[in-house]
Every structure is written in structure tokens, then in C-alpha cells.
Structure 1
């Protein structure tokens, strides 16, 4: 999924003005990761990086090269669990949040014809 420049600018401005929006995006990225939608999750995290800490600061905070972080969060990137946790921890601190997980019983889909 290619994002338009207008979309990126809109997200960037909203994240800077609205901390709740940034936290909601972070929450959505984590939920997507846990539910196997990694490509979309990485896109959201990449936009959060661009809108908040930037890749250079993220590189310093995680002790990972900026280019490696760019690759990890690309559509074909495959971050290790340790690298992903390092990135998530930067956002936990930056957004002042804790991560909690709640398991819910899967709801059966019904076909309403």
C-alpha cells in the first residue's frame, strides 16, 4: 500500500497536535502485529517514527543503524523480536504509555444475507 504525500502530512500534523491520536496509532500498530497484519503495522510505526522521534533519534535510542531501522519498517522488512521490542520501548517512553494485552474470545462471523 503506497501512502500519498497528503496522507503522510496529515498524519504528521495530527500526531504533533494530538497525543491521543499518536497513542491510538501506536495501539493499532501493536494490535495489527499481534494479529498477523505486519505490513500495515510496520507502515503505521514508520509514520509514527517520521512524525515523532525521527529515524536518527530512533537509531541512537535503539543502538541500531538508521538504515537498518528503515529496512525493518519497510513493507518487506522483517525485524527480529528484539529489534521490534527496542522500537516499541522507545515509543512507550515517548508516548508515556504501558503496553497491556487482553485476549478475547473470537466472535463467529455470521452471513447476514
Structure 2
């Protein structure tokens, strides 16, 4: 059976329709990144950017050229921490998501 629509297209369409879904997706991308899966987080961020802010507006907010943002958030992307922090800051501000990172408590 052939798929009629790419999964990313479906996700982007839902991100555009449902602001709460977009906020949840961004929160999950942050969690995935902090959980040690930056490759997955980058691809999630790419869909979130496509479905909400767009790369041109993200470029305006971060001062990073759109082409560079596209490369950073690709499967082979390798953004530095400064650039990734700028992307997360712009996205959390745009979607009004508060992010709070806490270290896990070690068991005694």
C-alpha cells in the first residue's frame, strides 16, 4: 500500500491547525534533545519551524541565514550550541512555551 502523504507533511499540517499541538511538539523536542537524542530533536524542530514560524521569520529572530537554518535542522545538520540555543529561544518565545531544565536526582 502506497502512502498518499509524507508523515512530515501530516505533522506540519497539524502544527499549522493546532497551536496546542505545536506547543506540545516543541516541549517534546526539547525533552528529546536534553535526553540525548539531538538528531531526532533537530528533525522535530525542522517540522515545527515549517508548521509554525517558518524559516524566514526564524532567520529574522535569530540572525542566522535561512539556508544555514535549513542545513542545521537537517538529518546531517550539526548546529553549535549557540545556534541551537538561539533557535530554541526564538521558537519558545514564538509559541509561548516555558522551558525549565532540571537535573534528575540520583537514587541514594
Report TM bin, short chain.
0.7 to 0.9
TM normalised by structure 2 equals: 0.86
What is the aligned residue count? 104
Structure 1's consecutive aligned runs of 4 or more residues displaced over 4 angstroms after TM superposition are none
**Aligned partners of 2:38 and 2:97: how far apart in 1?**
21
Higher RCO, Cα 8 Å, sep 6+:
2
Task: Give the structure 1 partner of residue 77 of structure 2.
Answer: 77
TM normalised by structure 1 equals: 0.82
Cα offset, 1:12, TM superposition: 1.6
Secondary structure of the residue aligned to 2:99 is: coil
Cα RMSD between the aligned structures?
A: 1.9
**Distance change (3 Å), C-alpha of 1:14 and 1:96:** same
Task: Give the structure 1 partner of residue 48 of structure 2.
Answer: 48
**Aligned partners of 1:31 and 1:64: how far apart in 2?**
24
**Distance change (3 Å), C-alpha of 1:24 and 1:37:** same
Residues 32 and 41 in structure 2, CA contact (< 8 A), matched pair in contact too? yes
Task: Give the structure 2 partner of residue 17 of structure 1.
Answer: 17
Structure 1: state its 5+ residue gaps. 108-113
Task: Give the structure 2 partner of residue 93 of structure 1.
Answer: 93
Structure 2: state its 5+ residue gaps. none
